[in-house]
Structure 1
């Protein structure tokens, strides 16, 4: 961390901790805020819990696990918590440090000899700590196509081997870019140091001692899990179930980065173990490792809205948590986003207060609005814009923003025949993503990934460019394809159809070379 940031935080934290805090919100205000958000964004279901001075004062489910089913969301409903899993992974590592089985400054290669980054110097110097704080040099979301769409056939060992082929976007420890793959590596480090699989370690070191009896990871049967929220999206104005669970939920490689599921009851226990730990919880993770977990590591950019709405002056990433000042108060938080599910955990440690909520619908803006409106009930109720006020700001582009170019109409695309693409048919390979087949299927041409079974689609032509449109709704972003010949080899590069699309669709990091024909 830069010395200037350390000094800034040292100066700021005592100030925000000493500010006189207004009283927390009453249950009626919380309920009214949640209901406004549900109505504004037509959410299928949500579970919300609030802690005040170490006590749960509000815990309620709204809506349905599946839209139109009549099955209610309750505090016992299981949700995907997505990237809120990261703090749990970091806590497992903290437990292993407390037990003397590893150190934060251990080189990763000490525990995983096969680990390598693109630069050999970075490989030798990357520590366990570096895996958790998004300053590795990897591009934002680099390699996420090995994690999602899920389930797929990539293993955690595939991810460890694939990292060396992903080119850095900035210097090691010289910036911030959110990544997921290194949390998967962190899970492998934990497994190596702890002598058990990541899944077993989480159950042994986290779920069991904290009593998180409803949380799940790894393979399990849907029928044995009780109430389970299913993800939803939008089809025009309609709320529709999407990417629903199969009867058997498979183990997934992405679990250390975003694959844990928990109920609201579990998440409130988890949150309160940080806000007002019992004697048993303090023994579970002592003061030294709690301090390590919440130490600012990587400065993060502060958005215009965070400055405007929250008067935020510092923003930094810790071990699986984000730290910020909001209205003169210290906050510790994280969010989760995963294919039709959104979550947030927000803690105000000096108050021993906070809240958790989980949404099973298309809720990106809803999460921002609800998180801000609930936080303001604690920190600055008199300054709150209210649900509609925050929602209206989000829906209105800033005055200085350049208008975005309209995306081409995909419906205008024309099919491409196998004879037209004859020159480019064959089996292609990217160093980390592996093989794809671009081959004739009848008169059409199909793109199909070997290790990501959901990634298959037909190639068409739109505005003079080749466009890949996926068959499976689980694949988020369609892709432009650019074929070329360089150095005597046929090459393929890809780019998101929507340049503002989700960063985990990291097509731009792929570099395919054709290896052989389709037969």
Structure 2
């Protein structure tokens, strides 16, 4: 049945030298129209004020466009030059800088971290001694998911040196190199290594070695480096109880190499072209210009730490393997290899996807923290360009969001119902009001104000909240800034004599961002001298 139609198509091409171009143009325009329609639907379904998308196919930018507004309620439009926080999509750039230094012989992937940063120390002496640059980038340290992130996010007064000092006090939850656990702190250390080997701050190195060579003229290493004259900057939004709230200020300024870059889809398209071209970004006479060697490109995309494959991914995406490489996640998707990463800061999320064998790449930048939105759009783009069966991905992820929200609501209701309303405190309220110290984070103060306990993280101004009694000697701290969505249990553990031994914490909701690693804290009363 298909043969006659194929023959008519070939006949048309033979009759007109422009026939193939016309068909190709119609195909491209059809794909782009479907994608733009999905963007509009996603913005409505997930309440995202602004989105920017770029797509690269066969070394050409086939789409680079902004949609919506910089800030909810404003008239300033998002365009292809609008700056967004790309967050953890910065990590691939940090890896690229290290790759170039490996090319130059400044170090190898097997170089021990302590040979460059002698102060580097993990809980286990063997792991400390054997920890290599590859390990630094592979999320296989044996520390827990997001371990120590409270040292860097939300915005803190701590420094990279404080991060290095705190590492040895973090709990080790698995064997070295045995399991994947996403770890921002190791990429902070990676930035310190780049600074040590180049003699320049990471922010200067990325500017001179990536942004300037590629012509990423609007991109900046941190938000604070954006010129005041450039007002084309997206504002971050958090959806809370159905309403959008404008937020800002948590851009990892002090911990840049883990996720501080501000960029646009026009500039990110230049970065992705260089990635698809295996590090090459131009030709100077007969000599190709490179960020890093072709060999390093392959090494960056090589699986290092395996992750489990969900039944949903197996069925939906035909995924058989999933792993972290170096600054990138890698997996198979309907028979092709996909290289990707996401990024998230408070109120902004982003996604970058490459399909090297199809010479295809995309970047999706948003000013609202809905992963459902960027997943729907990335799936739509892959469906169009890999010619998969048509599917309404926005509707699919809208259903998942509805289910997810219902599950969160049910869990929080279960938490409230489980409290023993008849339980009482073991101590007078004033006895809980003390200064406490954690070995890796530092000081946390609990004070008594107007007959209520109030908690303040000394190094994190935004973590200020009121403790409400939950049951027995357990409270729930409810942060003043409700957009954090990170309320936590505060449990006071007592000595046999009734004094406070230590305080532990844990997020109330399973949906709390993993970077709020309250569970890694062990707070000793400062007066105990622990």
Residue among 376, 380, 392 paired with 1:373: 380
1:321 Cα deviation after fit: 0.7
Q: Give the match for residue 460 of structure 1.
A: 468
Q: Say whether the 8 Å CA contact 1:24–1:52 is kept in structure 2.
A: no
Instruction: State the match for 1:271 in structure 2.
Output: 272
List gaps (5 residues or longer) in structure 1. Answer: 1-21
Residue pairs, 1:70-469, within 5 angstroms: 70-150=75-155, 152-218=156-222, 219-220=224-225, 223-243=228-248, 252-276=253-277, 277-279=281-283, 282-393=289-400, 395-396=402-403, 404=411, 406-408=413-415, 420-464=428-472, 465-469=474-478
Distance 1:222 1:97 in 2: 33
Alignment CA distance shift 1:485-1:243 (3 Å): same
Residue in structure 1 matching 2:491, options 464, 469, 482 = 482
Match of 1:496 in 2: 507
CA gap of 1:108–1:458, structure 2 versus 1, over 3 A, is: same
1:253 CA drift (Å): 2.6
Stretch of structure 1 that moved more, 183-192 or 31-40: 31-40
Query: Take 1:128 and 1:25, find their aligned partners in 2: how far apart are those partners?
Result: 45
Shift in Å at residue 369 of structure 1?
A: 1.6
Aligned length: 486
In the TM superposition, residue 365 of structure 1 has moved relative to its aligned partner by 1.3
TM-score normalised by structure 2 residue count: 0.86
> Using the alignment, how far apart are the partners of 2:356 and 2:333 within structure 1?
12
Q: SS where residue 254 of structure 1 aligns?
A: helix
SS in 2 for 1:406: helix
Q: In structure 2, what is the Cα distance between the partners aligned to 1:184 and 1:310? A: 33
Which stretches of structure 1, 4 residues or longer, exceed 6 Å deviation after superposition?
Answer: 22-25
The CA RMSD over aligned residues, in Å, is 2.8
Match of 2:526 in 1: 515
Task: Map Cα deviations across residues 323-349 of structure 1 (whole Å, 9 max, x no partner).
Answer: 111111111111111111110111111
Determine whether 1:470 maps to 2:479.
yes
Residues 420-471 of structure 1: CA deviation (Å, up to 9, x unaligned): 3222222110000101111223433221122111111111113553111111
Distance 1:456 1:394, change over 3 A: closer
SS class of match (2:413): coil
Q: Relative contact order, CA 8 A, sep 6+: which one is greater?
A: 1
Take 2:227 and 2:282, find their aligned partners in 1: how far apart are those partners? 33
Q: Measure, in 2, the Cα distance between the counterparts of 1:480 and 1:120.
A: 32
**1:200-259, Cα deviation, whole Å (9 max, x unpaired):** 1111221122221111124336623331101111232222212368xxxx8723321111
Q: 1:298 deviation in Å?
A: 1.0
Q: Deviations over 1:375-399 (max 9, x none)?
A: 11122432534432343355447xx
Residues 50 and 145 of structure 1, relative CA distance in 2, 3 Å threshold: same
Question: Per-residue CA shift, 1:28-65, capped at 9, x if unaligned?
Answer: 12211212212221210000111111100111101111
Any idea what the Cα deviations from partners look like across 1:301-341, whole Å, max 9, x if unmatched?
11232212110111111110111111111111111111111
Q: Secondary structure at the match of 1:32?
A: helix
